[in-house]
């Protein structure tokens, strides 16, 4: 059958138009979507499993008896549907952003949420608890979930997966999951520097050794349970946290600069941690384990002390006076800054979502290392 020149021309035109449309769609696609698609194609990541403190607790403390909760306004003001979930910020946490980057899920739910489905469990949960730490004394101060108990919950999680999916499939999920661990700040800020108990038992160097042993012990526990891709966050510049400046400055109103003494402790501990992780990586190389250090100190220091990203306010939290407010002191009656994206801190301890985004971007190369095949 002979095709007329006019019909042939129309077909060619339609094909060209479709091709141009596909190019335009790809150009206008969100960078985040591109990253997710790329990761799904090139990497086999089954789930994201999270351990630690308020920097990664999406709401586990909602289900325990503790004053350390963030499941009420103004927390979550910039979260989906302005929903306070228990996250100690205005929106997403770094762990949520990691899950999105990996294409696993949009947000990491708390393990203690009774409404979790098997799909929720398969793709990852957080065991983290705001107020927790590696020192067993730290979580007792606010009656939250110790890291060792979080490890026990992980073992329980494995049993639940196995019961639903069978041994082989459950083990595949465990081995191919990305593990995020973020804790330690409370051990110093809430515990050692504020209460006298540990200071009577330990000098600062010996307490750092004690804490390091507890952290490495916890990480070895994860490896023993099948974890193979682990990212471990270091300490932030603790002297730049608004609450630390308020509590330990000579004039907390006029002198709002970072206190280097507390930040130097973070730097020293982070150096110890990197050495410890390198040794752990070497000792577990035959198991094909990848353990990497996540530097959270540098991006936060750049934000607060370096004024690198142009935030309007880096010395006070967005909630209330910004000097001391956190958890129940930051509540529905508190005054709130109109635009949290211009603030480095949401309350006197916790960063805003905008800062968590900066931290996440700084971790991407290390994250890519532990997930590459």
Can 54 be counted among the known catalytic residues? Answer: yes
Q: Give dist(CA 368, CA 110) in Å, integer.
A: 25
Local confidence pLDDT in tens for the 373 residues of the chain: 444 544 434 443 443 443 433 333 333 433 443 433 333 434 589 999 999 999 999 999 999 999 999 999 999 999 999 999 999 999 999 999 999 999 999 999 999 999 999 999 999 999 999 999 999 999 999 999 999 999 999 999 999 999 999 999 999 999 999 999 999 999 999 999 999 999 999 999 999 999 999 999 999 999 999 999 999 999 999 999 999 999 998 876 667 899 999 999 999 999 999 999 999 999 988 788 999 999 999 999 999 999 999 999 999 999 999 999 999 999 999 999 999 999 999 999 999 999 999 999 999 999 999 998 7
Catalytic residue among 46, 182, 187, 350: 350
Q: How far is CA 140 from the centre of its chain?
A: 22
Can 187 be counted among the known catalytic residues? Answer: no
Distances (CA, A) of 59 to 207, 297, 317: 30, 24, 21
What letter does residue 62 receive in the DSSP assignment? G
Distances (CA, A) of 169 to 123, 153, 158: 13, 19, 11
Catalytic residue among 46, 54, 56, 132: 54
Q: Domains of the chain (ranges plus CATH)?
A: 31-241+259-298+353-371 (3.40.50.1110)
Q: Give dist(CA 112, CA 175) in Å, integer.
A: 22
Catalytic residue among 95, 187, 347, 348: 347
Query: Two tokens at 235?
Result: 């300490």
The pLDDT score that the predictor gives to residue 196 is: 96
Can 339 be counted among the known catalytic residues? Answer: no
The pLDDT score that the predictor gives to residue 285 is: 80
């Amino acid at each position: 059958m002979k095709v007329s020149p006019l019909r042939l021309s129309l077909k060619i035109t339609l094909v060209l138009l479709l091709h141009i449309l596909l190019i335009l769609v790809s150009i206008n696609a969100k960078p985040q979507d591109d990253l997710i698609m790329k990761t799904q194609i090139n990497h086999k990541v089954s789930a994201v499993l999270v351990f630690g403190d308020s920097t990664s607790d999406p709401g586990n403390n909602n289900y325990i008896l503790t004053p350390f909760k963030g499941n009420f306004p103004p927390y979550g003001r910039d979260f989906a549907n302005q929903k306070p979930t228990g996250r100690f910020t205005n929106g997403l946490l770094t762990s949520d952003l990691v899950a999105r980057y990996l294409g696993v899920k949009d947000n990491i739910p708390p393990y203690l949420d009774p409404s979790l489905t098997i799909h929720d469990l398969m793709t990852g949960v957080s065991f983290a608890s705001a107020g927790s730490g590696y020192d067993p004394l730290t979580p007792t101060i606010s009656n939250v979930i110790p890291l060792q108990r979080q490890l026990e919950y992980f073992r329980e999680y494995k049993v639940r997966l196995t019961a639903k999916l069978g041994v082989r499939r459950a083990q595949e999920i465990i081995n191919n999951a990305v593990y995020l661990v973020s804790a330690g700040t409370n051990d110093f800020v809430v515990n050692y520097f504020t209460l006298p108990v540990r200071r009577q038992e330990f000098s600062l160097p010996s307490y750092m050794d004690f804490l390091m042993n507890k952290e490495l012990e916890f990480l070895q526990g994860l490896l023993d349970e099948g974890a193979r891709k682990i990212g471990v966050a270091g300490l932030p510049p603790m002297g730049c946290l608004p609450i630390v400046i308020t509590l330990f400055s000579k004039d907390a109103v006029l002198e709002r600069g970072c206190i280097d003494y507390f930040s130097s402790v973070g730097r020293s501990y982070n150096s110890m941690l990197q050495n410890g992780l390198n040794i752990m990586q070497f000792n577990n190389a035959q198991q094909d384990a990848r353990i990497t250090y996540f530097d959270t100190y540098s991006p936060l220091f750049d934000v607060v002390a370096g004024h690198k990203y142009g935030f309007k306010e880096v010395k006070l939290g967005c909630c209330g006076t910004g000097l001391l407010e956190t958890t129940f002191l930051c509540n529905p009656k508190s005054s709130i800054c109109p635009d949290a994206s211009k603030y480095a801190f949401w309350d006197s301890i916790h960063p805003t979502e905008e800062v968590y985004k900066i931290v996440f971007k700084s971790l991407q190369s290390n994250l890519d290392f532990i997930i590459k095949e």
